[in-house]
Chains A and B, each alone.
Chain A
Amino acid sequence: MINGKRVLVIVPAWEESESIDATVREIRDVLPEVDVLVVDDGSMDNTSEIARNAGAIVTRLPYNLGVGGAMRLGYLYAKQHGYDVAVQIDADGQHDPRYLPKLVDRLDESALVIGARFAGEGDYKVRGPRKWSMVMLSFVLSRLAKRKLTDTTSGFRACNRDLIELFAGWYPVEYLGDTVETTVRVIRLGYKIEQVPVAMRPRAGGTPSQSPVKAMIYLGRAFITLLLALNRR
């Protein structure tokens, strides 16, 4: 319970055996009053087992669907078990659960609260095509939302019950669709979105993708995703 709200932390995890233990334990240490659901996205390693031993509720997809697929399952669980708030936190330890109560507080005003990396706190930096993608996305989505959104692809986000209901039945499985398209849809449906500045930490496991070719592909995909999202419905 935070502010009298039942909170579920959803951690989508694919092959995160290196970091999932620390991530789950930290959330439980810092916030003993929330439930942690690890959605194992069809990992071939023992992510599920480690997460269960760390004290999380674990649900495991029989095959890999991608972050969006894992998240819809998480929201479905939240809906079926009557949670008031669902918070997405990445399994790699980038997101500091100490910011979570801050995000949940803002849910009194907004339906979706995004933990944003470039909003002043911390020193997260990107360059090149990846930066351009983020600039483009934040420009378009900020105009749409009529308020400043600097980090629309952040996987650190909290939402209220209305959106849990929505996301349990509709959550794009495509790469980037899970963040960009959901944001567009939520704005279009007339819900309020805001961001809260957060500092990101280096990942506990795994390596970030930083090759320029990948960054260019990322830019292209971001553009297509945005274009499609804006033209739907």
Chain B
Amino acid sequence: MRLTVLTAITGVLVLAVIFELLRRRQLREKYAVLWMAVGVLVLPLAFFPHALDDLASKVGVATGISLLLFSGFVFLLLVCVHLSWESSRLEEETRTLAEEVALIRTELAKREEREPSHD
């Protein structure tokens, strides 16, 4: 029983944090959908930690909680990989921007040398 209280409180808290971040527009929409889905899936499990026991025994996992732990771990691993990919992409984009800035400055300096401004 005490386990259920713990998981229920945690589940509600997590969902509240996600909802609040969305409400303040701190998360992009693509992540919003993902995290809302996660919240909605996890919340019932927080109140009924044994809801997965049947499914677990069918796939050969001892208890529903182990199954949840395992799938949670895999899910988080995928999220991490996704974030690495996202940050690589961002680095590539900032690199392109840095190049543009450098070239524009060089062009500007050349022009000023040719026709010094009178300010």
B101: A residues at CB distance < 8 A: 62
Minimum C-beta distance from B5 to chain A (A): 49
Are the C-beta atoms of B102 and A61 separated by less than 8 Å?
yes
Are the C-beta atoms of A77 and B95 separated by less than 8 Å?
no
Are the C-beta atoms of B95 and A57 separated by less than 8 Å?
no
Bound-complex Cα distance A39 to B101 (A): 13
Closest residue of A by beta carbon distance from B94: A63
Are the C-beta atoms of A59 and B95 separated by less than 8 Å?
no
State which size class the interface on A falls in.
10 to 19
Q: Which of B69-119 contact A (CB under 8 A)?
A: 95, 98-99, 101-103, 105-106, 109-110
Bound-complex Cα distance A73 to B97 (A): 11
Query: Which of A39, A59, A63 touches B105 (beta carbons < 8 Å)?
Result: A59
Are the C-beta atoms of B106 and A61 separated by less than 8 Å?
no
Minimum C-beta distance from A50 to chain B (A): 15
Are the C-beta atoms of A61 and B99 separated by less than 8 Å?
yes
Query: Which of A58, A63, A69, A173 touches B106 (beta carbons < 8 Å)?
Result: A58
Interface of B is mostly: helix
Q: Which of A42-90 contact B (CB under 8 A)?
A: 57-63, 65, 69, 72-73, 76-77, 80
Bound-complex Cα distance A58 to B105 (A): 10
Are the C-beta atoms of B103 and A73 separated by less than 8 Å?
yes
Are the C-beta atoms of B106 and A59 separated by less than 8 Å?
yes
Are the C-beta atoms of A77 and B98 separated by less than 8 Å?
no
Bound-complex Cα distance A39 to B103 (A): 10
A62: B residues at CB distance < 8 A: 98, 101-102
Are the C-beta atoms of A65 and B103 separated by less than 8 Å?
no
B109: A residues at CB distance < 8 A: 58
Are the C-beta atoms of A76 and B98 separated by less than 8 Å?
no
Minimum C-beta distance from B58 to chain A (A): 39
Closest residue of B by beta carbon distance from A37: B106
Known: A61-B99, A72-B99, A73-B99. 17 other contacts (CB 8 A): A58-B106, A59-B102, A59-B103, A60-B102, A61-B98, A62-B98, A62-B101, A65-B95, A65-B98, A69-B95, A73-B98, A73-B102, A73-B103, A77-B103, A77-B106, A80-B103, A173-B95
Bound-complex Cα distance A63 to B109 (A): 19
Q: Which of A165-197 contact B (CB under 8 A)?
A: 173
Query: What are some 24 contacts across the A-B interface (CB < 8 A)?
Result: A39-B102, A57-B106, A57-B110, A58-B106, A58-B109, A59-B102, A59-B103, A59-B106, A60-B102, A60-B106, A61-B98, A61-B99, A61-B102, A62-B98, A62-B101, A63-B98, A72-B99, A73-B98, A73-B102, A73-B103, A76-B103, A77-B103, A77-B106, A80-B103
